[in-house]
Structure formats: C-alpha cells, structure tokens
Chains A and B, each alone.
Chain A
Amino acid sequence: MIILAAILSLLACTLLALSQRKHWKKVAGTELAVHASKAIRVCGWLLLVAAWVLCIIGEGVSFAALILPLLIATASFITALILGFQPKLLTPLAGVFKR
C-alpha cells in the first residue's frame, strides 16, 4: 500500500509541477493553456488525496500523519531534481495532457 502511495505522490507532484507554466514549457516546449493548467492541477491534487487515503487505510491515521508529508517531501524533491537535470524525462507525461 505504501509503495502505491509513494508512486501516486510522485505522480501527483510531477503533475502539480507541470501545471506551472515555466515547468511545462521546459518539458513540453509549448505554452500551457489556462484550462489545461487547471485540469493538470486538479489531477495532481486528486492523486495526492488518493495517496492520503491509501496511507490511512494501509498504515492507520497515526503513521499516515507522518508518512504522507514525508512522501510528498521526497516526491517533490525528486520532481525538482528531474526538472533541474533531466526535464525531458517528463515529456511522455506531458504528452498525455497535450492531447
């Protein structure tokens, strides 16, 4: 359960990053439309909520209260490193929303 929550957190963080214009441009090479930005952001937040629910189901409220913030921290850090060093790794993910 925690592995799934970690994957969802990473996916959520990359989507939240891609919903920002400068990161989108760096990854996709195009301008990001306002409605697309909103859609990506909503998807990101929904995935974070899903990760939170999975954490609570799998680990209980007490552990989930520690695990989720740390999962999000790690996922955000990884996302920033990918955007800093290898932004093109996220191009396939951006491609999903380009369509």
Chain B
Amino acid sequence: MGWLHTCFGITFSVILFAVFWTGTLTVFDKEIDQWMKPELRIPITDNVSLDEVVLPRLAELDLLPLSAVWIGMPRERVPVIRLHYKDANGKAHEEGLHPRTGEVLDLTDSDAGSEFFFRFHFMLHIPGILGYYIVGLSALAMMTLVVSGIFIHRKIFQEFFTFRPQKKTRRAVLDFHNLTSVVALPFHFIIPFSGLLILITSYFPWSMAVPFEGDIKQLDAKLAAYEKPVIKPANEPGDPVGTLDRYIDRANSIWRAQEGEGTSDPDWVAIFNVNDAKTYVVVERFFANHRVALGPDQVVFDPNNGEMIDQFKPLPIHAASNWLEGLHWIQFDHWPLRWLYFLAGLSGCIMIGSGLVFWIESRIKKAQPDATSVRVVRAISTASITGIILASVGFLIANRLIPKNINLDAIHRHELEIWTFFFIWALTFVHAVVREKSAWREQCFAIAIASVSAVALNWVTTGDHLLLTLGRSMWSIAIMDSVILVCAATALWSGLRLQRRLRESRNVAVSIEG
C-alpha cells in the first residue's frame, strides 16, 4: 500500500493539485466573474419581467430560424439576464441584459471563473477529449490514494487531532498531510467520485450507445427526447412568442402546488423552433436553489394556445445520482455550505501539496540534495503549488491591467488573460529551477505582493474598495477582496516562516562546519 500511495502520489500530485485548486476557486466562480467583469456588479432585481426586458430585445435580433434561444434568469450570484442565441448566419452569441432596463451590457471579454477556472478544473484547458481523460485518471488515482492512505496511516484515530508544528520540517509536514487527509476524508473521496459520475458519459460514450448499436447521435437524440418532447418544426413561419412571464408564473404555480411554497423559481427559459409555427417554450429548473440534487424540472408550453404540453420531473431512481451530481456542482444557494466547500477544497490542496513536499524532504534526506532528479522534482513541486497560485493571482492582475477595449487582430482579450496565466506559471518553474531552495520562500512573497496589488488594482480601476463594497453590501466583491487579502497574509506568513527555517538550517550547517 505504501508503494502504491507513493507511486500514485508522485505521478498525479501535480495534476491533482491543479484540479483541486481550480475546483476550489470554482466554488466562488460567479464571484470571480463579478470581480473580473465589473459590469456585472449590479444590485439584484426582484420581479423581473422577461416580457418587458427580453422580448423587445429578441424582436430586434435576426435569429436563425428553427434555432433555440436560452434565457438565464437573474440570481443573487448572477444578477443579470443571460441571453444565448444564434444569429441568421448561425453564429452563437451570449449577451448580458440589465434585469430592469433591458440594456445590453458591454461585458469585459474575460473567461473569468465560470469559464476559465471551471473548464480547467475538468479538462486542464487541453483541447479535445485528452484533458478529460487526464483529469478522470487523476480522479481515480485520488480515490486510490485516499483508500491506500487509510491503510498506511495505522494510527488514524490515535493521531486524529495531532499536529506538531514545532517538530522538524518532515514530521510537521507529515502531520499536516495526515491531518488534512483524515479530517476531510469523506469529502476527498466523494468529490472525485461524483466528478467521475458527472463525466462518465464523456469518458465512455460508447458504453451507453451499445443499445443503439454504437450510434452516439441516436443516443443523444433519445436522451434529449427523454427529458422534454422534441417537437418537429412545421417549417412554416409562425408568430413570435407573445409572453414568457405567463409561462413562468404557471410553471411556478405547478411546482408550488406539488412541493409547497418554499420551492425555488425557474432558472432558465428556452424558446425552441424559433420563428416557426410549431415553436414551444420550456421553463426549466436545472440548478434548483433550495436543494442539493441536480436535475431538470421542466414544464413545456405551446405558445399558440398557451396550453401546457408536458411536464418532466426526474424519476425517483435518479435521486441518488442527481444528489451526487448536485453536491459536486454546488449550484445551490447555501452560503455557509459554500464556505465549508471552499475550506474543504483548500484542505485538499494542502493535503496534496504537503504529501509532495514530504516526499521531496524524504528524498533530500536520503539522496544528495543537489542531485538533478531532486532539483527537477523540487522545481516541479514549487511551480505546481506556489506557481499555480501565483499564476491565478496574475490572471486577476492581467484582467485589471489589460484595457477593456484592446483590439488585437490575432488574439482575443480573454485569450491574453489566459496566456498571462500560463506564462506566469511557466516562469515560476524556471524561477524554481534557478533559485532551488529559496524558490518556495520567494514565490510566497511574490504571491503576497501580487495579491495586495490585485486588490489595489480593483480599487483603482473600478473605484470599489473593500470598505465601500462592505458598506454597500456588494458581498461578491467584498468576499473576493477579503479572500485575496487573506491569501496575501497567509503567503507572507508562510514566506517568513520558511525564511526563518532556512536561516536556522544554515546556522546549524555553519556551526557543524565550525
């Protein structure tokens, strides 16, 4: 088991740390979006009327006939209306509409949290399916590491609360590794498990396609038809949809009659077969606010006569998988639980990072500290832990420094931000190779300086400083700035502690030589 734990740990730690780190950031993805796209910082609006706000906008657009239009309802964490449509040329567009005025918001071109960090979390920003498989294998490795760790850590109960920071580095790091592993053990197991469950059809699409003789398109069509009726277009021009508010009200009353007053409102409204005589409207709750389980509740209406055509609710047999998927997606409105997820995610990062550091410290003790293999592994570890944190903060700084309307022919603005992230990450590796032992400490100090700079740049470029955001109850921005400042303080503390340890070890070496 020890061999298995070490082997899997060394092979997958770097990827696991990156996946856990971006997953932890994604817990607050919508808050990162608001921080990186200041146009989203608008107060939440109650009683939004899609008839007044969205339908006039749809009337202005030249929509692709028979396409679908998706309208995301405003929420506390996403206070604007999101409009997804295809124009007459088939080009997909995404717009943010002001929930009161209907004004099309000129959003900063940034992939921010809900796109960049989110996608990195499950595909490492690698195009195609390769990233999915790497993350999937890493998730399997994580589960193996958790189970093998239980067997290795024989004194799991006796040392449940044990942490001895005063001991030598190796012992203290191992204590920290054991502590963060054991206290959040169920979390560290169920998160990769539920992640695998969510993406199982991406990993093995052909297994589900077996009943359809391997035809994945047929499978997709059957799955789509399972959740909502697929109504074939009449291929005759039809009237535009006259109301959406009425369908939302009716869907709400249906759900309230079935589940009681406390049930949540719809989060998406979709219009299918646009501009056709057989157009239809779907009111959907995919990420219901007040429950863990994920899963579409849908009510389908025919706008020609206003009648309900169909209602879909997940079958009871879906309850377990929907709950497991819901606990991974974290789309529910539960702030205390969101914070607990964030802390547990950080504990996962510490667990992976401390495991890697312990392995390196052990090798340094056994081998020549200046051996090339040790130097390379140490550089990779530094870049994969402090490096990715610094790159993430650099991503935020780039967002504030790159002009909003920058116009480059070859590259989009959001790509510039992403390139900055990867450039800084690569730079931390080079720095770690050159600076060796000092790299940890110096990168910690760099994180501290960069984090304070990010908060200052947010203030300078938007005028929203921490006291102001707290005073005006702009919680998303206040949370972001606070967390970044805590990150700065932690990095500074860690850097100073590493500096003290380095000085002590040098003094010991000098006294031995003397």
**In contact, B347 and A23 (Cβ under 8 angstroms):** no
Cα(A81)–Cα(B180), bound, Å: 11
Q: Which residues of B contact A73 (CB under 8 A)?
A: 183-184, 187, 340, 343-344, 347
Does residue B292 face the partner (Cβ distance < 8 Å to A)?
yes
Cα(A69)–Cα(B291), bound, Å: 17
Cα(A44)–Cα(B169), bound, Å: 32
Interface string of B182-197 (1 = CB under 8 A from A): 1110110000000000
The residues in B between 126 and 161 inclusive whose CB is less than 8 angstroms from any CB of A are 158, 160-161
With A62-B292, A66-B292, A73-B347 as contacts: A83 and B163 at CB distance below 8 Å: yes
**In contact, A74 and B343 (Cβ under 8 angstroms):** yes
Chain B residue, CB-CB nearest to A5: B336
Cα(A66)–Cα(B163), bound, Å: 25
Q: Which residues of B contact A67 (CB under 8 A)?
A: 336-337, 340
Interface string of A70-89 (1 = CB under 8 A from B): 11111011011101110000
Set B158, B165, B180, B341: member contacting A77, Cβ < 8 A: B180
**In contact, A77 and B293 (Cβ under 8 angstroms):** no
With A70-B341, A73-B344, A77-B180 as contacts: A2 and B336 at CB distance below 8 Å: yes
How many residues of chain A are within 8 Å of chain B by beta carbon? 28
Q: Which residues of A contact B329 (CB under 8 A)?
A: none
**In contact, B183 and A76 (Cβ under 8 angstroms):** yes
With A63-B337, A73-B184 as contacts: A80 and B327 at CB distance below 8 Å: no
CB distance from A60 to the nearest CB of B (A): 8
Chain B residue, CB-CB nearest to A81: B163
The residues in B between 202 and 260 inclusive whose CB is less than 8 angstroms from any CB of A are none
**In contact, A66 and B161 (Cβ under 8 angstroms):** no
Q: Which residues of B contact A63 (CB under 8 A)?
A: 292, 332, 334, 337
Q: Which residues of B contact A66 (CB under 8 A)?
A: 292, 327, 337, 340
**Chain A interface residues (CB < 8 Å from chain B):** 2, 6, 13, 16-17, 20, 22-23, 59, 62-63, 65-67, 69-74, 76-77, 79-81, 83-85
